[in-house]
Structure 1
């Protein structure tokens, strides 16, 4: 399997509000930056979208190290929250519908195509590539 490194980040101006996402894919010495935004969204939706869009760009099953500063994203996969959500019909432990179900379901489809390790990094710190994704995400927030 090819080994790919992905860094992702999401940003929002207000929560909810206009938001953007950024991702950086690294394979060998090749890098690809991705961005996008929405006029009305949440920070969590942008975090999930960044990971989803990055994984969608992979053309074949890969071994992926995905770095994120989102505890929401990393913990879901590290602690396997999604297994209980699926078992309960996408209802959380409080018996409420899982927020962002649409994105989680699409993200799970992509994650299951690959061997993905989610790695939580500290946001707004000295992690250069995470900082780059933060710049991409903030730059993708729609203006006005």
Structure 2
């Protein structure tokens, strides 16, 4: 089983943001992180999961995602995202990322576990460190989906 730990951060909402992801499989550990000049916390929480799943090259291996984001965990575990998809994500923020998530999610055997943020969980704390450091980096990427305004109704 692969363990995937994730966290997102935003300095202002919207504002500069970043994500941190840790993949653990047997004795292998990989950290992935990036920062964006203008985004939201929810986008970074979701992007952390997406990037982690995309880094797993073998389909079918059970993956447990540990996230402190109720937005992400509940959307998947309570199956809301599948209803949003059927309605073409009409009126839903982050449609670009949810569509990307569903494409990679379909290739894996994924289970979500919610963890309390900022509660001393070592991997969650490390992901938070990665996300915040990336948000503060001088080399920030452009979150095209957010900055274009297409995926953020209202």
Q: Do they superpose with TM above 0.5?
A: yes
SS at match of 1:26: strand
- Mapped partners of 1:117, 1:143: distance in 2: 31
Structure 2 match to 1:94: none
Structure 2 match to 1:28: 26
TM-score normalized by the length of structure 1: 0.92
Preserved CA contact (<8 Å) 1:56 1:110: yes
Structure 1 residue 123, shift from structure 2 partner: 0.2
Structure 1 residue 10, shift from structure 2 partner: 0.3
- Mapped partners of 1:88, 1:140: distance in 2: 34
Count of matched residue pairs: 137
Structure 1 match to 2:3: 5
Structure 1 residue 143, shift from structure 2 partner: 4.5
TM-score normalized by the length of structure 2: 0.86
Deviation string 1:83-134 (CA, Å, 9 cap, x unpaired) is: 211222212xxxxx11000000001111110010011000000211100100
Structure 2 match to 1:115: 109
Structure 1 residue 51, shift from structure 2 partner: 0.6
Structure 2 match to 1:66: 65
| Larger strand proportion of the pair | 1
- Mapped partners of 1:140, 1:36: distance in 2: 5
SS at match of 2:135: coil
Within 5 Å, which residues of 2 pair with 1:50-129?
A: 50-61=48-59, 62-91=61-90, 97-129=91-123
- Mapped partners of 1:43, 1:88: distance in 2: 24
Structure 1 residue 82, shift from structure 2 partner: 1.3
Structure 1 residue 142, shift from structure 2 partner: 3.9
- Mapped partners of 2:87, 2:57: distance in 1: 32
- Gaps of at least 5 residues in structure 1 are 92-96
- Mapped partners of 1:143, 1:53: distance in 2: 19
SS at match of 2:104: helix
- Mapped partners of 1:40, 1:142: distance in 2: 12
